[in-house]
Structure 1
Amino acid sequence: MATGILTDETADRIVTTCRTAIGDSLRSVTYFTRDDYEQVYLREDLERDADLSTFIGHEWRGFKTTQAAYEGSELGAYDYTIRVFENGFLIRVTNDSEGVFVTTDGLTVKDFEEVATALDAFLSDRGLS
């Protein structure tokens, strides 16, 4: 499903990382940068009708706003964001130059931590931050 900003190998690596941590609860995976995005996975029972460009804009601004708002607080450094919706969850893992957001069915906090840690390692390995 790669469209150009990621190689097929890198897109597969992101999906494998998420599938390993989340399993069948994985709904979608979208990789993004400041300027572009690529949905690298969409579960086959879901419609391809989400407005991803709006989601990406919101998630990028949300990361920057959250990072700035809590910088230097006693909470420590920002790790990741979980959003809870009526029909699922969204987890966003972002650094200064790229990020991934994943949508899921129900998960436990341990599941979120696993996928966030794995995606953070993936983004760090790429060396873009």
Structure 2
Amino acid sequence: MGTGLLTSEAADRIVTTCRTAIGDSLRSVTYFTRDDYEQVYLRSDLERDADLSTFIGHEWRGFKTAQTAYEGSELGDYNYTIRVFDNGFLLRVTSQSEGVFVTTDGLTMNDFDAVATAINAFLEERDVN
């Protein structure tokens, strides 16, 4: 599935990466840049009715704000964000030019760390190419 933002291979790879790390708890995967986005996966039992453009705007601004706010802090470098909701979680992993947010059912912290590490590797590899 080519998205225009991602090649078919890249879209398949990010979905496979997330499915491998999260399994059946994966709800959706959305790839985004500062100017555009593409939902590359949505679990079949969910409706395609989320306002993704609002999510993307918020997540992009949130990344920039968090990165700037914590820069040089004793906490170390900013890695990723987890948002907790009544019906699931949102994990955001972002580089300087692109990002991925993943929605899930319940996961452990180790699960979140594993998928964030895998998504970071995907984004870093894209920056090199």
TM-score (norm 1): 0.97
* 2:9 maps to 1:9: yes
Q: SS of the residue aligned with 1:39?
A: strand
Q: 1:96 aligns to what?
A: 96
Of all paired residues, the percent bearing the same amino acid is 82
Structure 1, gaps ≥5 residues long: none
Superposition pairs of residues 22-61 of structure 1, within 5 angstroms: 22-61=22-61
- Cα deviation for residue 35 of structure 1 reads 0.6
Structure 1, residues 63-113: CA drift from partner, whole Å, max 9, x if none?
000000000000000000000000000000001000000000000000000
Alpha-carbon distance between aligned partners in 2 of 1:2 and 1:102, rounded to the nearest angstrom: 19
Q: SS of the residue aligned with 2:39?
A: strand
Alpha-carbon distance between aligned partners in 1 of 2:2 and 2:87, rounded to the nearest angstrom: 26
Alpha-carbon distance between aligned partners in 1 of 2:13 and 2:88, rounded to the nearest angstrom: 23
Structure 2, gaps ≥5 residues long: none
Q: SS of the residue aligned with 1:44?
A: coil
Show structure 1 runs of 4+ deviating over 6 A.
Answer: none
Aligned 8 A contact 2:34 2:98 in 1: yes
Q: 1:79 aligns to what?
A: 79
The RMSD of aligned alpha carbons is: 1.2
TM-score (norm 2): 0.97
Specify the code of the residue in structure 1 equivalent to 2:60: W
Alpha-carbon distance between aligned partners in 1 of 2:83 and 2:116, rounded to the nearest angstrom: 13
Aligned residues: 129
- Cα deviation for residue 23 of structure 1 reads 0.2
